[in-house]
Each structure stands twice: as structure tokens, then as C-alpha cells.
Amino acid sequence: QVQLVESGGGLVQAGGSLRLSCAVSRRTGETVRIGWFRQAPGKERVFVASISWSGGSTYADSVKDRFTISRDNAKNTLYLQLNSLKPEDTAVYYCAASPSDLRDGVAYWGRGTQVTVSS
């Protein structure tokens, strides 16, 4: 069982920055892949970024070069740094975890944190 709790969302002007955090609770020795998805109003939930235990990261094309995913294994925390934000980045951002590649399916979801970017 994995529990995920997001924080750090809010309202920001276009061009601004935010940092999202996700506290990860898992059984000792359980290996999961973790990352972020987002869901804009009226749209499907889509992949944003993921990171492996070794630190290798993958990004959606729409956020590459603007968002940075990182993790602090000692604190069991996942981060997403959002820079150069655009109104189209407005969405609920979800932390996600799975034993396999997140893009193949997500086993665990957080409750989400709202990011709103004003123009």
C-alpha cells in the first residue's frame, strides 16, 4: 500500500513559479515508480513527469524545459518545480505511483493539488 499526499498548489501569474511536493508513504522495500499527472477542467488526466529511483526523469513535451521533477529519498518526498507557468498549465496536479511505468497504468493516486495560472 502506498499513500501519497500533495501540497504546494496555488494561484500564480503567468511567468511565475510554484513548487509542488508529494509525501510518499510505502512499505519498506517496496519499489514504486513515482511521478506527476495533471487534469485540466473538462479534459482527461495526462502524464506530466516521472522519476526513477536512480534519478532518471521523463517529461511530457508540453512541460519539458519548464518543469523539473526531483526526489529526496531520505525525506520520502517527491517534488515538481514549475517555472515559466502558462495559463494552459492550470489544472489539478496529482502525485502518482506504480510498480511499473506510470504511462502503462497508475496503481496509486494522491488527492491532487490545484494550480491556477492567471494571464
Please report which helix (H) or strand (E) contains residue 47, including its range: strand 45-51
65, amino acid identity: D
Say yes or no to pLDDT of 29 above 80: no
Q: Is the pLDDT of residue 27 over 80?
A: no
**Average pLDDT of the segment spanning 16-31:** 87
Helix, strand and coil percent figures for the chain, each rounded to 5: 5, 50, 45
Least confident piece of the model among 26-35, 91-100, 104-113: 26-35
Contact 24, 78 (CB under 8 A): yes
